[in-house]
Structure 1
Amino acid sequence: MMRTQSSTTCGSHRALSQFCSFILFGFLATTTVCEPDYPSLDWYHPQVDLLAQLQSRLTGSPNHTTFVNHLESQLQSLGLQVNSDVFQFAYNQAPQSPPQIQLNGQTIPASFYIPYSGNTDAVGVTGTLVNVINPALSSPDWSRANGSIAVLNITNPGTDGAKNLAVWPGSPAWGTLPGVPASAANIYVHNLTDAARLGVKGVIYAWQNLTLANAYGQYGPFKINYQGIPAVQVAGSVSQQIVAAANQGSTVTLTSTGQLFPNGTTRTLWTIVEGTERKNESVIISTHTDGSNVVEENGHLALLAKARELKASPPKRTTILVFLTGHLHTSGFTDKGRVMARWLSDHQDLWNGTNGNGYKALFGSCVEHLGAVQWKEDVANDLYYPTGRLDPEVIYAATEELASLFQSNWRGATPDTIRATNPLKTTAEQGGEGLPFLWSQIPEISLVTAPSWLLKIWPEDFNQTQLMDIPAAKRQVDSFLRIWEAVDILPQSGFGKLNYTRNL
């Protein structure tokens, strides 16, 4: 894989920043402050409609390329110079028809294929089903399925938020959170290259405690390179059917007709707006552009809103907007588990201030999954349905000072619940692409809400706009804009001291 870098009247947002400065330093403001010119709801609708039209934007796919080109055009229309990091990678095109299992003359649709596992021709591969039940993280005993098709259990555990997600003072504790199946797959689906080496013809992962409707289209894992062996996933009653067939030694034919292209191409975009006063101090705001649906990923809405503001009123500190590629195929671009780590490694002059040269980043933000609505599973009755509520926001603040800044400025998806999660004390590392900021000792505030359908590719006839509450997304974007304006004038001591010692 290669990379190349090819008073009462408000005329600007500075009035708001001036007001924020009073708040930051504890003074009472008596000056009338006008509401900033944040994007209206009318601005959001065509943006969201485009995402719904494109549907999934898998890394390097035609839809993803179209979307990246669209973002580039949007930034250029504001007069911003757009930089590109161009990557070549092995791109595995999704199967042109749904993967299938033939069992006893019956066609059983798989819930989805395992991304970058392997491909078959139209005939498929045929073999005896062999149970290799392995809920543990260690490698399965693939040798048991030599010349056969292996069947493995996989589970979708929830999270005990009170135990595993620490919060900053003043924030309500977390409750229990449902699992995200594709994220679970990142943990439980591994070593498929060993299966291929040991002569296994194919693999079927049988989900436990997951409904058929939720399992459909779950794009996971998304952190493996091409494995060379076809693998699919099933759930619900189909899982029970496949496990029973394996216990009986039944023969099946597995078909998953993707295609591997060794020279795929994709781009990360980034733009720099130089500060007017503290140009050697940088603020980095990021999101990713590849995704599975209208919410995964829509963080670009916040960055485009910020780009409009930066063009109208340049910042005091240099501000860098980064639109990452590779999130849904992380291993194709980095071995660190987050593609933002690759960008930071490639562009150290923009954040680490080595030897006094270049920029020193004082703050970072990653915006992911705006306005996500909540769906709920009833596994006992195999039902999956929207609750009519918003999914709980997951927002990380890296220092106590930034947690306080967040709590003072955030009026997000659910304004009556303002919760800042402390990434220094969680049992697992922070989710999403904001984590590399911590690895690089850059204080951050990042959003990474995680509904159970986050990595789900929905049926083509499903209207994806119903996955996103646009007014809630606007509240989140407006809140980020307030935070970023406050950050622009914050004294260095106001960011707090970050000492992050964990890593992958």
Structure 2
Amino acid sequence: MEGYYDPHFGQHYYVPGVYLGSEEYYLVRNASQFHKTASIKISADTGQKYTRELFATLPGRSKETIIIDSHTDGATWVQENGVAGLLALAKYFAAQPMSSPDRAKTLKFAFTSGHLTYSRDGSIPYAKKLDEEYDNGDNSLVIVLEHMGAREILPSPAPKGQYGRVLNFTGRSESTLWSVGPTNAVVDLVSAAIKERNLDGFIVTPGNPPKNTSQIPYYASQGGIGTTYHDYLIPTTSIISGPWSLWAPSFGESAIEFSRLRTELMVVADVVLSLAPFSKAGIAGEYSEYREMRANGFPWKEPKWETQYPPGPRG
């Protein structure tokens, strides 16, 4: 084998390697004891390509803007359904007259690409742009949607005579992380909206891993692409789950509980509507302090995907 490709970091490794399932692993291992040989070949062309991104603005009565973002490069129904959420929210809000309370804020819908190749994630340059514009601009909050409405799947031992484990639906919804940066106004609105819609399985958190006050932001991750905006000190809240079906296209649409997905999107809409009376400063919370601390030289966890994981061959 000549090598393998790592899509996350955009690197083509020349070290021999292949990923195997549990049954295939035992088959290969047992065959090797008898010095058997086999071949595997994947023919592919490599090269630089462009991906498409879309940014759409729906004007409101106020120029203060809420940005709703999701990535467009998922491999499964769970990976990709944030895009469907953006389209549904855009369709709803666009149908409301300008005089409606629903149109109090300007909304921007961001369909970014390249997330699965982290070093070229489209949210990175977009977050940089928002950071540069934030202090003198109208952008007030980023809401990120990923992996919504997922059904819980858990592993169990494989039937007798088979290797490894098998995945089965439990009948419950997948636990979902709803990260909210250091803005009490958004924390309260998110918590109230979840309770009002009686959604279970949501964990409202300031982020992860444990709090580190030696740098800003104190919580360095929001679990997904919300992390990029959060790390650039843009007020951010993001939804993400991580079911066992996340990387398994074989589950298809059965991995999604569509009634649950719809309710989750309604909760997002509730949060957007509840933000109407809040000014940009009222939404910002401690992000304003973070930005001032950074300006005064306090250690800042700047995203460095492009320098840490530059795309290209690796020997």
* TM-based fold match above 0.5: yes
1:387 aligns to what? Answer: 170
1:141-174 Cα offsets, whole Å, 9 max, x none, are: xxxxxxxxxxxxxxxxxxxxxxxxxxxxxxxxxx
Computed over aligned residues only, the root mean square deviation of the Cα atoms, in angstroms, reads 3.0
Q: Aligned partners of 1:259, 1:380: CA distance in 2, in Å?
A: 34
Alignment of 1:172-251 (within 5 A): 201-202=2-3, 222-228=8-14, 231-243=17-29, 248=33, 250=35
1:496 aligns to what? Answer: 285
- Of 410-419 and 444-453, more deviation after overlay is shown by 410-419
- Are residues 479 and 293 of structure 1, via their aligned partners in 2, closer, same or farther at CA, if it must alter by over 3 Å? same
Q: Secondary structure at the match of 1:259?
A: coil
1:442 aligns to what? Answer: 234
Supply the AA of the counterpart residue of 2:83. H
Q: Are the aligned partners of 1:300 and 1:323 in contact in 2 as well (CA < 8 Å)?
A: yes
TM-score by length of 1: 0.49
Give ranges in structure 1 of 5+ residues lacking alignment. 1-124, 126-200, 204-218
- Are residues 417 and 367 of structure 1, via their aligned partners in 2, closer, same or farther at CA, if it must alter by over 3 Å? same
Tell which structure's C-alpha radius of gyration is larger. 1
**Aligned residue among 77, 89, 111 for 1:323:** 111
Q: Aligned partners of 2:21, 2:202: CA distance in 1, in Å?
A: 36
TM-superposed CA distance for 1:244, in Å, is: 5.1
Higher RCO (C-alpha 8 Å, min separation 6): 2
Matched, 1:432 2:224: yes
Q: Aligned partners of 1:387, 1:304: CA distance in 2, in Å?
A: 29
Q: Aligned partners of 1:249, 1:439: CA distance in 2, in Å?
A: 53
Matched, 1:374 2:162: no
Q: Are the aligned partners of 2:232 and 2:302 in contact in 1 as well (CA < 8 Å)?
A: no
Q: Aligned partners of 1:293, 1:242: CA distance in 2, in Å?
A: 28
Q: Aligned partners of 1:267, 1:476: CA distance in 2, in Å?
A: 27
Supply the AA of the counterpart residue of 2:117. H
1:269 aligns to what? Answer: 54
Alignment of 1:57-72 (within 5 A): none
1:41-94 Cα offsets, whole Å, 9 max, x none, are: xxxxxxxxxxxxxxxxxxxxxxxxxxxxxxxxxxxxxxxxxxxxxxxxxxxxxx
Supply the AA of the counterpart residue of 2:204. A
Q: Aligned partners of 1:431, 1:497: CA distance in 2, in Å?
A: 20
Q: Aligned partners of 1:414, 1:233: CA distance in 2, in Å?
A: 41
1:408 aligns to what? Answer: 192
TM-superposed CA distance for 1:410, in Å, is: 1.9
TM-superposed CA distance for 1:424, in Å, is: 5.8
Supply the AA of the counterpart residue of 1:376. L
Alignment of 1:10-409 (within 5 A): 125=1, 201-202=2-3, 222-228=8-14, 231-243=17-29, 248=33, 250=35, 252-277=37-62, 279=63, 281-311=64-94, 312-314=96-98, 315-331=103-119, 333=120, 338-345=121-128, 348=129, 352-353=132-133, 356=136, 359-379=137-157, 381=159, 382-399=165-182, 400-409=184-193
Q: Aligned partners of 2:31, 2:16: CA distance in 1, in Å?
A: 19
